[in-house]
Structure 1
Amino acid sequence: MENTLEFEGPATAQACSENLSAVEDAIYVIGGKWKLKIIIVLQDKGNIRFNDLQRNIPGISARVLSNELKDLELNGFVKRVVHADQTPVIVEYISTDYSRTLKPVIIALSQWGKTHKRKIKEDF
């Protein structure tokens, strides 16, 4: 089976430009060192508090995590839930249904990453 990218419509300069723009938009929203890691942990763990989330992502600082969560919340990937009726106040983060639409992308990236790692090891 041949591995080719199939895009909607004929391969025109306009279609190529639109596809590049769409990929650029996606990378802008979920790109960087931490965003996908945060999304993966949230999808895996469900409701999770800030410190637990930080413990599950080695190397991320509290400041960076806080900023990334704000960005992800603005883009609809994360919901921040404040339980003000409890003492102390508890804040939890959960992945949204929209965030879960990334699951096939994450699985594909994971599979590709494993294949790539094997290829690199074989080449050396």
Structure 2
Amino acid sequence: MPKSYNIGVEATIDVIGGKWKPVILCHLQNNGLMRTSELKRAIPTITQKMLTQQLRELEKDGIINRIVYNEVPPKVEYELSQYGKSLSNILSALCYWGEFHVEKLYNQGENVSLIRQDHVNIP
């Protein structure tokens, strides 16, 4: 059965949707090559199992590259693929909007804070 989408955003969400994939991708966009342990430290609330699963799915979809070094102990790093880099504007826009949203909530008196600001300025 061929896969069909009613609107383009469905195809985007099919690849990068969920709680963790955009977070992983933003870290890779901002930091470049990262080891699994570095990603885990950057996203402390994700479980190791979920991180591994999300990385595998992103690799399968061609969004990230998994680089394995022939060392003992094994060293594995992840980076955005060329195809994954095509998501740059989307990821930056998501970060920017999230920062805007947190500021709005804070100004409304909500107890909210943002540890890092990672957006790239968008025109």
Q: TM-score, normalised by structure 2?
A: 0.74
Equivalent residue for 1:79, pick from 65, 87, 101: 65
Larger helix share, 1 or 2 = 1
Maintained 8 Å contact 2:68/2:75: yes
Q: TM-score, normalised by structure 1?
A: 0.74
Q: Does 1:34 align with 2:23?
A: no
SS at match of 2:68: strand
How far 1:53 moved relative to its partner?
A: 1.2
How far 1:112 moved relative to its partner?
A: 2.4
Q: How does 1:1-124 map to 2 (within 5 A)?
A: 20-84=6-70, 86-121=71-106
C-alpha distance in 1, partners of 2:99/2:33?
Answer: 28
SS at match of 1:36: helix
Q: 1:24-74 CA deviation, whole Å, 9 max, x = no partner?
A: 111111110000111111122222111111111120111000000010001
Q: Aligned letter for 1:88?
A: P
Partner of 2:113: none
Q: Aligned letter for 2:74?
A: V
Q: How many residues align?
A: 106
C-alpha distance in 2, partners of 1:65/1:32?
Answer: 12
Root-mean-square deviation (CA, aligned residues, Å) is 2.2
C-alpha distance in 1, partners of 2:75/2:100?
Answer: 41
Tell me: CA distance 1:121–1:52, structure 2 relative to 1, closer, same or farther (3 Å): closer
| Unpaired segments ≥5 residues, structure 2 | 110-123
> Greater CA deviation, 25-34 or 108-117?
108-117
| Unpaired segments ≥5 residues, structure 1 | 1-17
C-alpha distance in 1, partners of 2:108/2:42?
Answer: 32
